[in-house]
């Protein structure tokens, strides 16, 4: 989501960057995989503070036409959608990579058994 703006007549206008969707309809991929922006209109008021910029959303609705607005100094033609269903996805948690321990652990080697007795245990 790029921005959300309350409107007097139509509820809330949400500017969204299109991204490919996964099998669960969650936006995936890099920002460079986008096919552009679109405007989605929600019938009710949505507080812009509850949907901060960068929030991943999925909308379902009817394409209603186009609208031309300025993006920096360029006139950009946005497709418009009337929202029937809106899903706000929780933030993705970063996947941390942990280094393995520099040793193999207590159960490594030819001695494997209770209390690490030096008895050979066959697999």
**Read out DSSP for 28-62?**
-S-GGG---EEEEEESS---GGGS-TT--EEEEEE
pLDDT by residue (tens digit) across 9-57?
869 999 999 888 888 888 887 788 888 889 999 998 888 888 888 888 9
Burial of residue 26 (number of CB atoms within 10 Å: 0-12, 13-18, 19+):
middle
| Residue 9: domain span | 3-88
Residue 115 located in a structural domain: no
Residue 55 located in a structural domain: yes
pLDDT by residue (tens digit) across 68-112?
999 889 999 999 999 999 988 888 877 766 655 555 555 555 555
- Tell me the C-alpha to C-alpha distance, in Å, between residue 97 and each of 54, 62, 101: 24, 42, 13
Indicate the number of domains in the chain.
1
Residue 12 located in a structural domain: yes
């Amino acid at each position: 989501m790029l921005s959300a703006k309350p409107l007097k007549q139509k509820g809330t206008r949400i500017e969204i960057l299109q991204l490919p969707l996964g099998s669960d309809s969650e936006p995936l991929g890099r920002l460079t995989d986008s096919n552009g922006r679109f405007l989605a209109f929600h019938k009710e008021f949505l507080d812009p503070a509850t949907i901060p910029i960068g929030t991943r959303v999925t909308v379902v609705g009817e394409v209603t036409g186009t609208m031309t607005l300025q993006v920096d100094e360029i006139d950009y033609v946005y497709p418009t959608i009337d929202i029937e269903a809106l899903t706000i996805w929780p933030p993705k948690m970063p996947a941390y990579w942990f280094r393995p321990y520099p040793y193999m652990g207590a159960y490594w080697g030819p001695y494997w058994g209770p209390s690490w007795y030096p008895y050979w245990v066959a697999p």
